[in-house]
Amino acid sequence: MKTIYFDNNATTRVADEVFEVMQPYFCELYGNPSSMHTFGGQVGVRVREAREQVAALLGCHPGEVIFTSCGTEADSTAILGALAAVPHRRKVITTRVEHPAVLTVCRDLENRGYHVIELGVDKQGRLDLDELESLLDDDTAIVTIMAANNETGTIFPLEKIAEMVTERGITFHTDAVQIVGKIPLNLSESPIHLLSLSGHKLHAPKGVGVLYVRKGTRIAPFLLGGHQEGGRRAGTENVPGIVGLGKACELAARYMDDENTRVKALRDKLESAILAGCPDSRINGDPENRLPNTTNISFEYIEGEAILLMLDRFGICASSGSACTSGSLEPSHVLRAMGVPFTAAHGSIRYSLSRYNTEDEVDFTIEKMPQIIERLRELSPFVGQVHV
């Protein structure tokens, strides 16, 4: 059975071109980029080139790019590193809909005596910028707000937020993992201080990420050790991953138009056909400002997990808005923050597409969805009682 992969916000397929450029760096060009000899030095040259490729996609200077092991490390480094640079400031502002890579760090900070404020969102997942502005003060050490939500695709007004925060002399970090490669960025014209991205969300391998640190931003290193990354992130570089990420960034720039035209059209087709074919379904998120590849749809009265299992039988990969914690199904914190009713939050499915998806895959899924929903609603009207 062929796999139909609609779970690209969870991870992506490594692009063939990316895999190809990585291969020599395992068994042939395996030198340490920090070594003095020519053998290592040539590897160092490739790491430098990859840094330039990342910088080109972000519209920044290569010296502002720090390679990390993942998006999570970039987020932790940004938040903890910025706090360490201004130890007298004790307030942290974030949102209730952040990825756990940010939210868990902030909640841990709260346990360690920081004053953490989590901004709420409205029914469409939008922030109240007046509320944010009213909370900024001289005690605020950092504001960390994601660029786009991984579950709903809702895009926040990044530049407006960055301006508002940085004008007050406060450090601004954004988890941009979901927009890099999907929406154009130009950091040279932006006041954003810190920005995180992750390789495996844009067709590079797992285990490599980037923290962008705007020139002049004060930040303490998170990993201590050797002098790699200009002393800002110790640890021998993941050379194949870095070379792959460089290539993935180059490709992302090339496919950006495709993402916002063809992929977006596929998403729109999938979404409107599902809404039309399945009664009691609705979109979660801001339909105006949304990632081109993402749709999150709630189906009343059924469990997302049951839908996923049925989709899985057809080889279709998607994800649900619930997480199985301690044996009970908790609806997603993002949908709960948006006030999505309990019955709808439980039955939510996220489809996230990529440039590798085809119209045939979308058509096949459009054909199957109404059958799946009808069958599940017949099987049992009781949430949690559905077995497939």
Ligand X SMILES: *Cc1c(COP(=O)(O)O)cnc(C)c1O
- Phi, then psi, of 335 in degrees rounded to 5: -65, -35
SS3 (DSSP) at 243? helix
CA distances from 381 to 141, 271, 299, 384 (A): 49, 24, 12, 9
Please, which residue, 183 or 366, has the CB nearer to ligand X?
183
d(C-alpha 247, C-alpha 239), whole Å? 12
Q: Does 76 bind ligand X (CB under 6 A)?
A: no
Taking the C-alpha atoms of residue 322 and residue 329, their distance in angstroms, rounded to an integer, is 6
Report which of 65, 223, 75, 217 is spatially closest to residue 146, judged by C-alpha positions: 75
To the nearest whole angstrom, how small is the minimum distance from the Cβ of residue 264 to ligand X? Answer: 19
Nearest distance from C-beta of residue 123 to ligand X, angstroms: 21
Q: Which of 27, 106, 278, 324 is catalytic?
A: 324
Q: Quote the least distance from Cβ 11 to ligand X, whole Å.
A: 7
User: Is 281 or 348 the residue whose CB approaches ligand X more closely?
Assistant: 348
**Stretch of 69-77, 252-260, 279-287, 296-304 contacting ligand X, by CB under 6 A:** 69-77
The reply to whether 106 belongs to the active site is: no
Is residue 15 a contact point for ligand X (CB under 6 A)?
Answer: no
Residue 28's identity, in one-letter code, is E
Supply the DSSP symbol for 155. B
Total chain residues near ligand X (CB under 6 A): 14
Nearest distance from C-beta of residue 18 to ligand X, angstroms: 15
Count the residues in the chain: 388
Q: How far is the CB of 152 from ligand X (least distance, A)?
A: 11
Site map 127..146 versus ligand X, x via CB under 6 A: -------------------x
Nearer CB in complex with ligand X: 176/270: 176
Q: How far is the CB of 198 from ligand X (least distance, A)?
A: 3
Candidates 33, 71, 246, 304: give the one binding ligand X (CB under 6 A): 71
- Residue number, 181 or 209, with CB nearest to ligand X: 209
Among residues 209 and 304, whose Cβ is nearest to ligand X?
209
Q: 171 Cβ partners below 8 Å, 6+ apart?
A: 82, 85, 86, 141, 142, 143, 165, 193, 194, 217, 218
Q: Judged by CB under 6 A, does residue 70 bind ligand X?
A: yes
Q: Which of residues 168-227 bind ligand X (CB under 6 A)?
A: 175, 177-178, 198, 200-201, 209
Q: Which is nearer to ligand X, 95 or 281 (CB)?
A: 95
Q: What is the DSSP string of 13-52?
A: PPPHHHHHHHTHHHHTS---TT-SSHHHHHHHHHHHHHHH
Helix (H) or strand (E) holding 294: strand 294-299
Distance in angstroms between the alpha carbons of the first and the last residue of the chain: 19
Which residues carry out catalysis? 324
Residues that bind ligand X (CB under 6 A): 70-72, 99, 101, 146, 150, 175, 177-178, 198, 200-201, 209
